[in-house]
């Protein structure tokens, strides 16, 4: 399953990170050459891609597609395109507001792909894509816990020794390895004819590498051969493309803060290891009252402790603290007159009753 991702690169940086190798050089001593894909901007009803540490379904993100979808020319300058699409496929038959079709389409189960009214058409038309990110967030569901208490993890592909995926100061778009997931896309049109491109990520049953965390995992494309087989709908058959979808053999992960639970949190603390993430500040004011926290009282106690530390240790042992004196002192002094007056009043009132 995949319900949240992280991609903090701008469009130009995305293109740099998505360079792919040309055909192998004929000469053994010749260096491998790489091609930079082109960015294809789409209107998408006015919505745009925004880099984020916490990307959720319905957000716009860049995906890789074959350039053959938009050109019949056999002499293409670039075989791959990167274009922004909305996460969560919109059913082609839906009418009205594209956000209100009522289906959960961020993931597509591989087992039911060919039986699905939503996904069978795009697959048969060769509308295969690759979703890119620095990593995806997953919640551990194999342990009994409430959804809000489940541990969250950032899952990513192994990097070079000096690269720490959560620390952008240790890598650049040219040396980072993005995680690539197989997906399907479709094109939806509103009543005015404006188009919205959207996609779903393909998932299947988790292999042992991830089954300890979750029972589902995305179809991750680890090699360039898998990438080519999945994207090249002109020359690679449906069955060959499906054969390219197999469980990943190498993944890395680390636990992250529960900040990522809320998709509105876009802080750079979202993808940091749990031990390094900044702890949330204690509630103040009305929120502190609602949560039972009393910062004022805690502050007074801290000040009292500081004063005690400064005081002479001998005096501290002889003189009781203010709180101790208050505890030993009776709440009110006995008053002999009061009971007599009360008794007198009772005697006077007794005959009247």
Which pLDDT value is given to residue 2? 82
The answer to whether residue 292 scores a pLDDT higher than 80 is: no
- 314 Rama class: left (phi>0) / alpha (psi -120 to 50) / beta: alpha
What confidence tier does 282 reach under pLDDT thresholds 50, 70, 90?
low
Which pLDDT value is given to residue 348? 35
Q: Report the alpha-carbon distance of residue 197 to residue 45 in Å, rounded.
A: 9
Phi, psi of 334 (to 5 degrees): -65, 140
Beta carbons of 139 and 128 less than 8 angstroms apart: no
Q: Report the alpha-carbon distance of residue 338 to residue 57 in Å, rounded.
A: 75
Which pLDDT value is given to residue 318? 40
Beta-ladder partners of 197: 187
The answer to whether residue 342 scores a pLDDT higher than 60 is: no
Task: State pLDDT tens for residues 15-71.
Answer: 999 999 987 655 666 788 999 999 999 999 999 999 999 999 999 999 999 999 998
Q: Report the alpha-carbon distance of residue 130 to residue 182 in Å, rounded.
A: 5
Distance spanning both ends of the chain, measured CA to CA: 83
Which pLDDT value is given to residue 284? 63
Report the catalytic residues. Answer: 2, 138
Beta carbons of 180 and 220 less than 8 angstroms apart: yes
Which pLDDT value is given to residue 332? 43
Max Cα–Cα distance, the chain, nearest Å = 126
Which pLDDT value is given to residue 71? 87
Percent of residues, the chain, with pLDDT higher than 90:
69
Q: Report the alpha-carbon distance of residue 207 to residue 219 in Å, rounded.
A: 11
Which pLDDT value is given to residue 281? 57
Beta-ladder partners of 136: 5, 155
Which pLDDT value is given to residue 30? 75
Question: Which secondary-structure segment (H or E) carries 304?
Answer: helix 295-310
The answer to whether residue 190 scores a pLDDT higher than 80 is: yes
């Amino acid at each position: 399953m995949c319900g949240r991702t992280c991609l903090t690169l701008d469009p130009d940086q995305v293109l740099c990170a998505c360079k792919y190798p040309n055909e192998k050089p004929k000469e053994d001593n010749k260096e491998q050459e790489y091609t930079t894909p082109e960015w294809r901007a789409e209107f998408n009803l006015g919505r745009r891609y925004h880099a984020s540490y916490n990307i959720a379904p319905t957000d716009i993100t860049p995906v890789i597609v074959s350039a053959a979808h938009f050109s019949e020319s056999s002499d293409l300058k670039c075989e791959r395109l990167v274009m922004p699409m909305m996460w969560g496929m919109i059913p082609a038959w839906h009418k009205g507001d594209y956000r209100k079709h009522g289906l959960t389409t961020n993931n597509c189960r591989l087992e039911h792909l060919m039986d699905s009214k939503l996904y069978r058409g795009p697959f048969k038309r060769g509308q295969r894509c690759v979703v890119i990110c620095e990593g995806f967030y997953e919640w551990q569901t194999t342990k009994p816990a409430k959804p809000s208490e489940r541990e969250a993890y950032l899952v990513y592909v192994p990097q070079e020794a000096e690269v720490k995926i959560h620390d952008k100061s240790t890598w650049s778009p040219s040396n980072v390895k993005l995680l690539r997931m197989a997906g399907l896309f479709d094109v939806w049109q509103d009543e005015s004819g404006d188009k919205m491109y959207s996609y779903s990520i393909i998932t299947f049953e988790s292999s042992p590498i991830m089954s300890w965390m979750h029972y589902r995992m995305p179809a991750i494309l680890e090699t360039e051969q898998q990438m080519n087989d999945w994207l090249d709908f002109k020359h690679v058959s449906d069955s060959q493309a499906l054969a390219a979808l197999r469980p990943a053999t190498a993944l890395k992960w680390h636990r992250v803060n529960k900040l990522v639970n809320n998709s509105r949190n876009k802080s750079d603390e979202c993808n940091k290891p749990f031990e390094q993430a900044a702890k949330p500040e204690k509630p103040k004011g009305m929120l502190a009252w609602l949560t039972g926290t009393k910062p004022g009282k805690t502050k007074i106690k801290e000040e009292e402790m500081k004063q005690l530390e400064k005081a002479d240790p001998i005096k501290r042992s002889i003189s009781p603290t203010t709180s101790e004196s208050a505890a030993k002192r009776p709440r009110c002094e006995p008053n002999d007159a009061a009971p007599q007056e009360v008794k007198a009043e009772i005697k006077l009132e007794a005959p009247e009753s």
